[in-house]
Amino acid sequence: MGIHNDVEEILFTEEQLAQIVRRIGRQINEDYKDKNLLMVSVLKGSLIFMADLMREIHIPCAIDFLSVSSYGKGTVSSGEVRIMKDLDQSLEGKDILVIEDILDSGRTLTYLLKTLAARNPSSIRLCTLLDKPERRQVEVHPDYVGAQVEDKFIVGYGLDYAEQYRNLPYIGVLKPEIYENA
């Protein structure tokens, strides 16, 4: 069955992910009802989460995309962050909600949040689908968290290994033999 055979276990089914997204969407609708919301997707991993989350937002909002790199083709962040694609619009006076797939070491998001805060938004908050707190190397506190996960190599629903597995409709643990000898 192709890529599905590379998954050791499923952590979150399609149905569980839909429930998480609905819960976060309801909270964002309440928190941003009188704000100038700009949702910023951190590509590529958050694309699917952002698309589903947008459909749960029932207040006026705009979207934009940012691409950063800190992993290359490895399984561990290099610590060096590069902006590969910047935002298309000004952040001044907007209420920014950064949408991320997973909060891991926190280094990339710390850099990104500082960079965006320097652009004079009215506010800036962080929404992450998954949080891996035991991997944290710098202090980052997300405002919205879908779920906490253990320190396992996970893929699916936008999360990848070497640009593969993003298209899995669920989130699962990748079998170690897939990445250990890479």
Active site (catalytic) residues:
104
The residue type of 28 is I
Tokens of 110: 């710390």
Task: Tell me the β-bridge partners of 161.
Answer: 164
Which residues have C-beta within 8 Å of that of residue 135, sequence separation ≥ 6?
104, 105, 151
Strands (E), 20-142: 37-43, 61-69, 82-85, 95-103, 123-131
